[in-house]
Every structure is written in structure tokens, then in C-alpha cells.
A = this chain, B = another copy of it.
Amino acid sequence: MNKLTPGWNRRNCTKRADCIDCDIRKSALFSTLSEAELIYLVQPVLTFQHEAHIRLYEEGEAGSHAYTVRKGIIKLVKTIPNGEQRIVRLASRSDFIGLEILLAQPYRHTAISITPIEICKIPVEVLKGLDERNPSFSQQLMTRWQKNVDDAESVITDLSTGKAASRLAHLILRYFSDGLAEVWNSPARDDIASMLGVTTETASRLMAEFKREGLISEEHGRIAIQDFVALKSIADD
């Protein structure tokens, strides 16, 4: 299966998006829109499904679409001059990615699915139209933007500061508290490493250690927290 090119075709596009009956509408970007506005919206918005390891867009690319995540997890990656990659954010259910195209600016990240995903693909013109005619929508946009700032800054304080064990504990706790999963479908070890700014080996060692110590358990790649309190105290170390 070609991991580079997402197929924006009939096979992946289940349907025209059903924004009015959307089950994440109240938590998603369009929460404040009226039904009339949603009908305007519904026209050019399509829902797609993709498997894991699909690249939605590339850092530096001048894009024309943003995406609402309905299912699955997408990593937003930045490439560092020396060739390494760092994951700066994870997007999941009801997150909105690619906001920057609204400012006619290129994508800031490379977006890659790390699980099977379901997403809504929204043309920038639709966003601009809504922004112009609806004040509550631009309020929504600002809230999303601030969330992006908050997320990025918590990556600085929680996942980039302190010892590796503390950072990993933060990462695991965040996954669950964010409701990313009841049972965490664990990312690959090298993705964990790239979120924490450590090597794959260190990520692997620590995950193995956490399992040995009974802090977490793992079955078929699914993580479950076993000792919440202990994880929290490691995180705050």
C-alpha cells in the first residue's frame, strides 16, 4: 500500500459530510453555526477515511484545505535541520488541523495518520466565508488558535523538560485524560521517542520498565494504565 499519497477518491470518500447530524458538532469548530449556515457549509465538505501512515499534507506546502478529525490520531511533525523529526502535536477526535491556511500561509507541519482515520476536508474558501459572515465563528477560530498555543506550550513544559521517565509519564497521562483513548492504542516506539525528544531505545526501555513495574500494561499494542497515582508522581518529578 502506498504510504505517501492519500487517495482522495471514491474508495476513501464515504460521503458528503453530514454536518447537521454530525456527532462531534458540539465540540467541533462549527459548534456555533446555525442550520442554515451548516447547509452552506455542507456543500463542498467531504468526509474521508484513510488507513494509518498516510500523509495528509507536507510542511511548507501551500495548501487549500483544513481538516476536522472525526476518528483516529494524526501526528503533526516538524523536520529539524539535522534531519531528525519532532512531533509537535497529536490531533484526535474533534481537533481541527491546518488552521494556518486561513492566513494564506503554508502548512507548518507534515500531517501523518498513526491510526486509521476519518476526517472532513474543508476548503479554505468555506472557512473564509463563514469567518466573514459570522462573528461567533471567528470567536471559535480564536479559541482553536489559543488551544494550539496551549498544546504547543504544554509540549514544552511537559514533554520537553525534565527526565525522560517524567516526560513519558506526562505523555501517557495526557493521552488518557485527553480522552484520546479509553485504552490507548499505542503509537510506535519511535513516535513516542519523537514526541519526547529522546531516542527510540530510551522510549522502548522506559516503556518496558513501566510495564515491569506495573504502572501500565500492554496487550496487542493497547496500553492501559495500572497505577495512575504512581504515574502522576513520576510525571511531577
A contacts, CB < 8 Å to B: 78, 80-82, 84, 86, 88, 99-100, 102-103, 105, 108, 131-132, 135, 138-139, 141-143, 145-146, 148-150, 152-153, 155-157, 160-162, 197, 235-237
The one of B80, B145, B150, B153 in contact with A162, judged by C-beta atoms closer than 8 angstroms, is: B80
Given A108-B150, A142-B142, A145-B149, residue A156 in contact with residue B82 (CB < 8 A): no
Instruction: List B contacts of A80 (CB < 8 A).
Output: 157, 161-162
B105 touches A157 (CB 8 A): no
A81 touches B236 (CB 8 A): yes
For the complex with contacts A80-B162, A108-B153, A156-B156, 17 further pairs of A-B residues with Cβ separation under 8 Å are A78-B157, A80-B161, A81-B235, A82-B236, A84-B162, A86-B157, A100-B146, A105-B146, A132-B135, A141-B142, A142-B142, A142-B145, A145-B145, A145-B146, A152-B155, A155-B156, A160-B161
What is the predominant secondary structure among interface residues of chain A facing chain B? helix
**Which of A80, A100, A135, A161 has the most chain B CB atoms closer than 10 A to its own CB?**
A161
Residue of B nearest to A149 (CB): B148
